[in-house]
């Protein structure tokens, strides 16, 4: 695998916004398709900008990943979403990470957090040194990942200001 930049992407509160869901309900429009909740077109537009400006690939760290990588890639194609989904984070951290970690200082709650799953994915794919960004509406990262983290507001999701920050992180500006 040779990918130069990675977006670790959550869906709910990032692409699936409370604002858009309320609007769909108010307009009595379909709020979901066969994959689940429809994404906010404004948030998707911001993701498109990030992908266009960075050529980053996408790794899904959302709970939607439990549908499987193939389903996520099918959804990406069917919904004509920007970028390329190259993976999903593991549901637990890898044995290699556990073997290289001081378990005495590891909080047991960290074993199943998204931050640990992201660290595990980077380690397993030998990509610890590539530029990456984590976009999520919850503070679910490891302290070492803070410089790579973008926290969204679940009402608005991924907005232009946050997209610009993500581009800066990925392009190391």
Q: Domain of 13: which CATH number? A: 3.40.50
Flag whether pLDDT at 158 surpasses 50.
Answer: yes
Over range 140-146, report the average pLDDT.
92
pLDDT at site 108: 46
Quick one: which of 9, 50, 64 has its CA closest to 169?
Answer: 50
Residue 93, domain member (yes or no): yes
Over range 135-156, report the average pLDDT.
96
144 is in which domain, residue-wise? Answer: 6-170
- Tens digits of residue pLDDT in 22-66: 999 999 999 999 999 999 999 999 999 999 999 999 999 999 998
Over range 138-142, report the average pLDDT.
91
pLDDT at site 2: 52
Residue 90, domain member (yes or no): yes
CA dist 157 and 173 (Å) reads 23
Q: For residues 46 and 159, is the Cβ–Cβ distance under 8 A?
A: yes
Q: For residues 64 and 34, is the Cβ–Cβ distance under 8 A?
A: no
pLDDT at site 103: 47
CA dist 114 and 10 (Å) reads 10
Neighbour-count burial of 25, counting CB atoms closer than 10 A to its CB (0-12 exposed, 13-18 middle, 19+ buried): exposed
- DSSP conformational letter for 113: S
Residue 1, domain member (yes or no): no
pLDDT at site 91: 82
To the question of pTM greater than 0.75 for the whole model, the response is yes
Residue 116, domain member (yes or no): yes
- The total domain count for the chain is 1
- Tens digits of residue pLDDT in 78-130: 999 999 999 999 986 544 544 555 545 445 444 458 999 999 999 999 999 99
Residue 68, domain member (yes or no): yes
Neighbour-count burial of 157, counting CB atoms closer than 10 A to its CB (0-12 exposed, 13-18 middle, 19+ buried): buried
**Regarding beta strands 132-136 and 57-60, do their DSSP bridges make them parallel or antiparallel, or are they unpaired?**
unpaired
Flag whether pLDDT at 152 surpasses 80.
Answer: yes
pLDDT at site 140: 86
């Amino acid at each position: 695998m040779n990918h130069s930049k990675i977006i670790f992407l959550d869906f709910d509160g990032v692409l699936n916004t409370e604002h858009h869901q309320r609007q769909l309900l108010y307009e009595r429009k379909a709020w979901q398709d066969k994959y689940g909740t429809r994404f906010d077109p404004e948030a998707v537009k911001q993701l498109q900008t990030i992908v266009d400006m960075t050529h980053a690939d996408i790794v899904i760290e959302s709970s939607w990943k439990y549908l499987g990588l193939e389903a996520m890639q099918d959804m990406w194609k069917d919904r004509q979403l920007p970028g390329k989904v190259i993976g999903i984070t593991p549901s637990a951290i890898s044995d290699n990470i556990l073997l290289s970690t001081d378990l005495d200082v590891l909080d047991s709650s960290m074993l199943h957090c998204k931050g640990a799953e992201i660290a595990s994915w980077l380690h397993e794919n030998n990509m610890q040194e590539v530029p990456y960004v984590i976009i999520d509406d919850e503070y679910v990262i490891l302290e070492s990942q803070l410089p790579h983290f973008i926290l969204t507001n679940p009402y608005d999701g991924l907005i232009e200001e946050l997209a610009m920050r993500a581009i800066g992180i990925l392009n190391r500006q």
